[in-house]
Amino acid sequence: MNSEATKLLKKIGDKKAIIGVIGLGYVGLPLVKTFLHKGFRVKGFDTDHRKVAMLNRGRNYIRHISAAELRDFLGRQMFEASADFARLSDVDAILICVPTPLDGHGAPDLSYVINSTISVAEHVRKGQLVVLESTTYPGTTDEEMRPILEAGGLKAGKDFFLAFSPEREDPGNKSFSTATTPKVVGGLTPDCLKVAKALYDQIIVKTVPVTSTRAAESTKLLENIFRSVNIALVNELKMIFDRMGIDVWEVIRAASSKPFGFMPFYPGPGLGGHCIPIDPFYLTWKAKEVDYQTKFIELAGEINTFMPYYVRQKTIEALNERGKSVKNAKVLVLGLAYKKDIDDSRESPSLKIISLFQDKGAKVSYNDPYIPHLVGHREYPGLEMKSVPVTKALLRKCDAVVISTDHTAYDYDMIVRNAPLVIDTRNAVKRPRKNVVKA
């Protein structure tokens, strides 16, 4: 082990290493919180000056991070947010937690990762650790980041240390947090792995070392492709069983009684969040380099992408049975978040559902207790709405109420009693009701 690695390991072991986190969103902020609770000083970096200002005032914009504990760390000078990336030279470990979306052609958009890497390269110094946590295709850390970071003359594995450790955040999960979820770590060299593993050993219940950054990058893709394919399977079964007059939810419950060889997945109106709708296509794109077509992954993507259209069609059919046209129909979409009890609407199927109903001339409104304002989504730049309160009067005026996200806060009995038609995409309404259609 070289001297730079030895010095950094001692700093980490003594908790004197200063941690820098680039990207203060749904991945970066929980990571910041975890390091702070374990006794490390943290500097957060973001290009969004509004976020930086809010954090430095002790205000937060993510529901599951407490503003009170943030103010406590600010008061003790343990945490500071900044938009000045020159201050990256002050930290000992730089963790990059930025978005990795798809571009308009379905190809990986690494612009956030590349721009962050360029900022790091301008200020990287000897003895620092750089870790990418953003989900990406195999080879990103080695092929894309490394040349940028080494352009100034410092060498990865010798002068500074480079690793990949995929984030495993699950917003709203009450059973597992950042600290209690095992973390995969892959280093560019053995020294890189030792240093990165030592850092995460300080804050995570268990680290899982792998032989390379590529293996770590591939691990996250496998995790999310596994979920995408299985969700696509139950979504397809839902549509098949619906034609057969079979309740897919009853079938899943029955199959779940088997104590081995089965894992339940649940259908819905489509995929959401920043991972599952996007990550599989990073491997699809990369696989073309080795002349392989990822048929299984692409088929799953097609099925999951189709689900909002299926919801719209089921709603149109239900309206037709009641002598109503979707054009000018008053449609209320319940839930904008991509899953229950969180405030994250990234890639939410609700966005597509709203857009599809509007395309058919419906008058659409939405409610979400955690997302008061819909605005600024990349794929829906013209979609701007405000959440409306769910009242008995509103429900009675609606032609259809679509349960897109099954938030615990909703009073489903009240909704069903007052809405003339409910389209339930989440099995939120358990007992059969005449005005409830499963979709």
- Could you give the CA distance from residue 84 to residue 426 in angstroms, rounded to a whole number? 44
Read off φ and ψ for residue 145, nearest 5 degrees.
-80, -45
Catalogue the E-assigned strands of 373-430. 373-374, 385-386, 400-403, 422-424
Contact 235, 227 (CB under 8 A): no
- Could you give the CA distance from residue 167 to residue 430 in angstroms, rounded to a whole number? 35
Contact 381, 355 (CB under 8 A): no
Of 97, 192, 275, 398, the active-site residue reads 275
Question: What letter would DSSP give residue 233?
Answer: H
Amino acid making up residue 307: M
Other residues' Cβ atoms within 10 Å of the Cβ of residue 391: 12
Read off φ and ψ for residue 306, nearest 5 degrees.
-75, -20
Q: How far is CA 95 from the centre of its chain?
A: 17
Report which of 292, 132, 302 is spatially closest to residue 220, judged by C-alpha positions. 132
- Could you give the CA distance from residue 359 to residue 362 in angstroms, rounded to a whole number? 7
Other residues' Cβ atoms within 10 Å of the Cβ of residue 380: 14
Amino acid making up residue 240: I
- Is 275 designated active site? yes
What tokens appear for 161 in the block? Answer: 């240390």
Torsion of CA 218, 224, 230, 236, to 10 degrees: -120
- Could you give the CA distance from residue 371 to residue 377 in angstroms, rounded to a whole number? 13
Q: What share of the chain is helix, strand, coil (3-state, %, to 5)?
A: 40, 15, 45
- Could you give the CA distance from residue 432 to residue 416 in angstroms, rounded to a whole number? 11
Residues tagged active-site: 275
